[in-house]
Amino acid sequence: MNVGVLVSGRGSNLQALLDRLQGGDCQVVAVGSNKAEAPALRRAREADVPVRVFPHADYADRASHDLAMADWLQARGAEIIVLAGYMALLDSVFIGRFPDRIVNVHPSLLPAFPGVRAIEQAVEYGVKVFGVTVHLVDEGVDTGAILAQRAIELGTMSDPAEVHQHLQRIEHELLPEVVLRMARGEVRRDPDNPRRLLVG
């Protein structure tokens, strides 16, 4: 299965995907971004993966922006889409093009702390156990069905940057693992509860 990745930032999760997937049966075939300056794009170019920037300002609205991204990703052969630090909501037109095939990584144990500044909010709240969620994308904000989660004890950690470093180590392992499982057809919905995904 071919994977398309959307990024907006540093791209450490993209790097983890490239390191784990390239050269195998399931490869990253395209990397799209809404940010021309995203450092993630250099990682894609260095791995010889086609890159395209879709600046929001070039499109009349999010629907036409996301439609252009979906067209490009499909033309590159992408079947699974991974949001690896893609910091924008996706329009329903995009989601409809890749049903149950869009994966997001979020730095919290959903449904706690969806949306932006998840780590800062959790630290401020004083949670003791925190973690990472990999989930399918639907039209809500981090509301899609959960594929995998991993937790850590925060102990005395209270600096969001330090917590993020710990979470990223988990993300870099968990995200490629889930994408490979999805590519192998190991993800299905529980017939008795469609919100529940059975993985493996």
Rule CB under 6 A: say whether 131 interacts with ligand GAR.
no
Q: 164: which 2 tokens?
A: 């993020």
DSSP-assigned letter for residue 105 = E
Q: Is there binding between residue 181 and ligand GAR (CB under 6 A)?
A: no
Residues 91, 170: contact at Cβ < 8 Å? no
200, burial (CB in 10 Å: exposed 0-12, middle 13-18, buried 19+): exposed
Q: Tell me which stretch binds ligand GAR (CB under 6 A): 18-26, 90-98, 99-107, 179-187.
A: 99-107
84 binds ligand GAR per the rule CB under 6 A: yes
Nearer to ligand GAR among residue 174 and residue 187 (C-beta): 174
Give the H or E element holding residue 99: none
Token pair belonging to 8? 């907006």
- From the list 56, 65, 106, 166, the catalytic residue is 106
Does residue 105 belong to the site contacting ligand GAR (CB under 6 A)? yes
Binding part of the chain for ligand GAR, among 44-52, 65-73, 104-112, 123-131 by CB under 6 A, reads 104-112
Q: Which of 13, 147, 176, 182 binds ligand GAR (CB under 6 A)?
A: 13
Tokens found for residue 11: 């791209």
195: its two tokens: 């919100």
State residue 149 phi and psi, 5-degree precision: -140, 150
Query: Could you say whether residue 107 binds ligand GAR (CB under 6 A)?
Result: yes
Which positions lie near ligand GAR, rule CB under 6 A?
9-13, 40, 84-85, 105-107, 168, 171
